[in-house]
C-alpha cells in the first residue's frame, strides 16, 4: 500500500515537468548566461582592451543578469502554465518547502551571485578558468540527479546530467579558442531548450484543449 | 472476531471507496488541485468525480472553492486537516492489518 501511495504522489509531482517548459526556461537562462560570459571575454580581450575597468563593470553586471534571468524565467513559466498547461490538463499548487519565500529567494540570489563571483576570483587567483566548465558540469549534473531522485523520478534528468558532466569535462580537457564557460552554458542551454521543446510538442499533441465546457 | 479483523471493520468507509481513496491520496501531496487535474489523474467522469468530491466535502475531508488564477476560472479542491488526519489513520490501519496478516 505504501508503494502505491508513493507512486501516486510521484505521478502528481511528475506533472510539473510534463510540459517541458521548465527545461525551455532554464535553457534560455543558460543561453543568456553564455552571452554574458562571451561579452565578458570580448570586453576583456578584444572589444575594449583600452578600457581597463570594462571587465570589472561586467563582473558587477552578473548580479543583474542573474536576477533578471531568474525573475523572467519564473514569470515565463507561470504565464506559460497559466495559458497553455492548466487549461489542458489542470491546475495544481505544490507545497513550497520554504514558506519564507521572499527571504529565501533573496538568500538564494545572493548565494548564487557570490558563488559565481568566488569562482571568477579563484580562476583569477589560480590564473586559469579552464577547470570551471568541468566543475559546473559536475555540479549541475549532481543537482539534476538529486532532482530526479528527490522530486521528479523522471529518467530524462539523468540524460541531462550525463550531458552536463560530459560537456564540462570535454570543454576543460580540450583547448578552445573561446571561453569554455560560455560554450558550456550555450551548449547545455540549447540542449535543454531542444529537449524541452520536444517534450512540449509531445505534450501538446497528446493533450489538445478540452471543449469549451464548464469545469464541473 | 479477532482484533485484526475488527480493525478492518473500523475502517473509514468514506475513504475506503477506491475512487475517493485515490482522490485523497492525490490531494494529500499538493496544496490544491483543480477539477480538471483530478479528472485527468483519476480517469473518472465529470459526474462521478463531482459526486465523490461532494461526499468528501460533506465529510469535512475536502474543501472545494471556486476561484480565479489570473483570468482562468478554477474549481480547486484542498484536503482539510480533518482529511489529512483521516487519511493518515486509514493508512495506518490498513498497514497494520497487512503487517499482521502477511
DSSP A131: T
Assessment of whether the complete model's pTM goes beyond 0.80: no
Residue B78 pLDDT > 60, yes or no? yes
List, in order, residues 6 or more apart from A87 with CB less than 8 Å away. Answer: A209, A210, B72
Shortest distance, CA B31 to any CA of chain A (angstroms): 5
Query: Mean pLDDT across the stretch A138-157?
Result: 82
Which domain, by its residues, includes A161? 13-87+101-203
Shortest distance, CA B62 to any CA of chain A (angstroms): 15
**Interface-testing mutation among B20, B27, B29, with chain A (most A C-beta atoms within 10 A):** B29
Question: Residue A66: inside a domain, yes or no?
Answer: yes
pLDDT tens-digit series, residues A117-131: 787 777 777 777 678
Residue A183 pLDDT > 50, yes or no? yes
Question: Residue A191: inside a domain, yes or no?
Answer: yes
3-state SS, residue B73: strand
Question: Residue B27: inside a domain, yes or no?
Answer: yes
pLDDT number for residue A199: 95
CB contact under 8 A, B95 and A95: no
Indicate the pLDDT class of residue A197, thresholds 50, 70 and 90.
very high
Domain count, chain A: 1
pLDDT number for residue B82: 95
Closest to A168 measured CA to CA, from A140, A120, A133, A130: A133
Indicate the pLDDT class of residue A213, thresholds 50, 70 and 90.
low
Q: What percent of chain A has pLDDT over 90?
A: 31
Rounded-to-integer distance, Cα A79 and Cα B72, Å: 11
pLDDT number for residue B1: 56
- Residue B73: how many CB atoms within 10 A of its CB? 12
Shortest distance, CA B18 to any CA of chain A (angstroms): 12
Which domain, by its residues, includes B47? 3-94
A-chain residues within 8 Å CB-CB of B29? 8-9, 12-13, 95
**Interface-testing mutation among A2, A75, A92, with chain B (most B C-beta atoms within 10 A):** A92
pLDDT tens-digit series, residues A83-119: 999 999 999 998 876 555 677 777 777 777 777 778 7
Question: Residue A130: inside a domain, yes or no?
Answer: yes
The CATH number of residue B12's host domain is 1.10.10.10
CB contact under 8 A, A90 and B28: no
Q: Does B8 touch chain A (CB under 8 A)?
A: no
Cell 482562468 sits at which residue? B72
Question: Residue B65: inside a domain, yes or no?
Answer: yes
Q: What is the ipTM of this complex?
A: 0.82
Compute the 3-state secondary structure of chain B and give helix, strand, coil in percent, each to the nearest 5: 65, 20, 20
Question: Residue B102: inside a domain, yes or no?
Answer: no
A-chain residues within 8 Å CB-CB of B35? 90, 215-216
pLDDT tens-digit series, residues A32-91: 989 888 887 777 665 554 555 555 555 667 778 888 888 999 999 999 998 999 999 999
pLDDT number for residue A215: 46
Question: Residue B74: inside a domain, yes or no?
Answer: yes
CB contact under 8 A, B30 and A216: no
pLDDT tens-digit series, residues A1-33: 555 777 788 888 889 899 999 999 999 999 998
Domain count, chain B: 1
Between B90 and A64, whose confidence is greater? Answer: B90
Indicate the pLDDT class of residue A216, thresholds 50, 70 and 90.
very low
Q: Is B70 in contact with A124 (CB distance < 8 Å)?
A: no
As a dihedral over the C-alpha atoms of residue B2, residue B5, residue B7, residue B13, rounded to 10 degrees, the angle is -150
Question: Residue A77: inside a domain, yes or no?
Answer: yes
CB contact under 8 A, B50 and A216: yes
CB contact under 8 A, B31 and A82: no
CB contact under 8 A, B34 and A82: no
Question: Residue B62: inside a domain, yes or no?
Answer: yes
Indicate the pLDDT class of residue A178, thresholds 50, 70 and 90.
low
Question: Residue A216: inside a domain, yes or no?
Answer: no
Contacts 24+ apart (CB under 8 A), A202-208: A202/A20, A203/A18, A203/A19, A203/A20, A203/A85, A203/A88, A204/A84, A204/A88, A207/A88, A207/A89, A208/A88
Amino acid at each position: 500500500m505504501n508503494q502505491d501511495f508513493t507512486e501516486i504522489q510521484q505521478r502528481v509531482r511528475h506533472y510539473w515537468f510534463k510540459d517541458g517548459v521548465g527545461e525551455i526556461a532554464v535553457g534560455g537562462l543558460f543561453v543568456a548566461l553564455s552571452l554574458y560570459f562571451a561579452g565578458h571575454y570580448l570586453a576583456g580581450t578584444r572589444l575594449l582592451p583600452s578600457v581597463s575597468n570594462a571587465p570589472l563593470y561586467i563582473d558587477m553586471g552578473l548580479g543583474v543578469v542573474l536576477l533578471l534571468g531568474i525573475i523572467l524565467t519564473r514569470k515565463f513559466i507561470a504565464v506559460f502554465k497559466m495559458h497553455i498547461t492548466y487549461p489542458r490538463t489542470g491546475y495544481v499548487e505544490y507545497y513550497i518547502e520554504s514558506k519564507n519565500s521572499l527571504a529565501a529567494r533573496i538568500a538564494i540570489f545572493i548565494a548564487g551571485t557570490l558563488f559565481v563571483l568566488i569562482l571568477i576570483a579563484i580562476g583569477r587567483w589560480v590564473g586559469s578558468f579552464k577547470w570551471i566548465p568541468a566543475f559546473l558540469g559536475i555540479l549541475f549534473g549532481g543537482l539534476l540527479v538529486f532532482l530526479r531522485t528527490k522530486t521528479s523520478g523522471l529518467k530524462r534528468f539523468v540524460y541531462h546530467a550525463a550531458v552536463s558532466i560530459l560537456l564540462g569535462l570535454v570543454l576543460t580537457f580540450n583547448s578552445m579558442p573561446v571561453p569554455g564557460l560560455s560554450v558550456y552554458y550555450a551548449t547545455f542551454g540549447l540542449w535543454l531548450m531542444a529537449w524541452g521543446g520536444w517534450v512540449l510538442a509531445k505534450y501538446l499533441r497528446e493533450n489538445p484543449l478540452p471543449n469549451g465546457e464548464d469545469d464541473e | 472476531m479477532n482484533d485484526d479483523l475488527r480493525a478492518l471493520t473500523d475502517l473509514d468507509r468514506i475513504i475506503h471507496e477506491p475512487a475517493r481513496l485515490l482522490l485523497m491520496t492525490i490531494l494529500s501531496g499538493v496544496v490544491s488541485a483543480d477539477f480538471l487535474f483530478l479528472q485527468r489523474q483519476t480517469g473518472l467522469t465529470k459526474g462521478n468525480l463531482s459526486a465523490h468530491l461532494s461526499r468528501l466535502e460533506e465529510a469535512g475531508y475536502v474543501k472545494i472553492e471556486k476561484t480565479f488564477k489570473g483570468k482562468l476560472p478554477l474549481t480547486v479542491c484542498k484536503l482539510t486537516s480533518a482529511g489529512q488526519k483521516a487519511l493518515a489513520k486509514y493508512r495506518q490501519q490498513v498497514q497494520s492489518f497487512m503487517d499482521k496478516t502477511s
